[in-house]
Amino acid sequence: MGLISDNIQSFLEKIPENVQLIPISKTKPNDMILDAWQNGFKVFGENKVQELARKYEELPKDIQWHMVGHLQSNKIKYIAPFVHLVHGIDSFKLIKIMDKEAKKAGRILNGLFQLHIASEETKFGFSQDEIFEILDSREYAEIENVRMIGVMGMATLTNAESIISKEFKELYDIYLNLKSRYFQNNEDFKEVSMGMSGDYEIAIDEGSSMIRIGSAIFGERYK
Ligand SMILES: *Cc1c(COP(=O)(O)O)cnc(C)c1O
């Protein structure tokens, strides 16, 4: 096995089976992704639409692609024909345009509500109340081709584990609230996407179902 597939394999060995690993290949060349693909790893995430669309074109079509970055609504059309899960949904407008583009593509698009749990101003995301408002609206009831399957969030960039774990706990609580209020009988709504290279262990302790790992698998990012 090559370097990247070794790194993915050793990650899989150290995380619980019920936690899904999403290797984040942003800024990395196709041959690194192909190395993993040849060893049977076929799920990857990217954070930029243009790079994601290009890699989709150039790489094997059985890769399951995740969009993890901030997504502008005018760019959804480029990834709607193939993307598996959009992690960072942070506006109702985005859901509506995803619905429209998914219909055009004849697909159902999966999405996660991104919550703003960090103390930094710059991180995107909803508050819990904003999501309640969307889910209570008549407009939301008309959405047909977007399937919301959970939540996503990013903790504050800090070395203070207590802060990170408090924020992940908060995200998990919001997930439970949404589940019991709106998705109780919906088996699809089960994902809590939290944890990156620096904080995935804490995230797993707090109930993560999906960790998004970039640099700990692919090495430092190219600029
Ligand atoms: C880049 C990125 C990751 C992975 O980050 P690492 O710290 O390199 O593991 C996870 N989530 C999002 C949204 C990202 O943009």
Ligand 1 atom nearest residue 215's Cα: 8
Distance 100 CA to ligand 1 centre (A): 28
> Which numbered atom of ligand 1 lies nearest the CA of 88?
13
CB of 54 closer than 8 Å to CB of 26: no
Strands of the sheet with 64-67, listed across from one edge: 20-23, 210-213, 191-193, 146-153, 109-115, 85-89, 64-67, 43-46
pLDDT of residue 119: 87
CA-CA distance, 91 to 186, in Å (whole number)? 22
- Which residue in 168, 192, 200, 208 sits closest to 11, CA to CA? 200
What's residue 121's pLDDT?
79
Q: pLDDT value at position 123? A: 73
Whole-angstrom CA distances from 26 to 54, 65, 103, 178, 213 are: 12, 12, 28, 31, 10
**Domains defined for the chain, CATH in brackets:** 3-218 (3.20.20.10)
**Ligand 1 atom 1: the closest Cα is on which residue?**
214
Q: Nearest residue CA, atom 6 of ligand 1?
A: 214
d(CA 126, CA 37): 34
Tokens of 87: 């992690």
From the CA of 197, give the closest atom in ligand 1.
Answer: 9
Structure-token pair, residue 14: 């150290």
pLDDT per residue rounded down to tens, the chain (223 residues): 568 999 999 999 999 999 999 999 999 999 999 999 999 999 999 999 999 999 999 999 999 999 999 999 999 999 999 999 999 999 999 999 999 999 999 999 999 999 999 988 777 899 999 999 999 999 999 999 999 999 999 999 999 999 999 999 999 999 999 999 999 999 999 999 999 999 999 999 999 999 999 999 998 876 5
pTM for this prediction: 0.96
Give the CA distances from residue 2 to residues 36, 108, 188, in Å, rounded to whole numbers and listed in that order: 8, 35, 34
Which atom of ligand 1 has the smallest separation from the CA of 47?
Answer: 15
C-alpha 130 to ligand 1 mean position (Å): 25
Give the chain's length: 223
With a Cβ cut-off of 6 Å, ligand 1 is lined by 24, 26, 47, 68-69, 196-198, 212-216
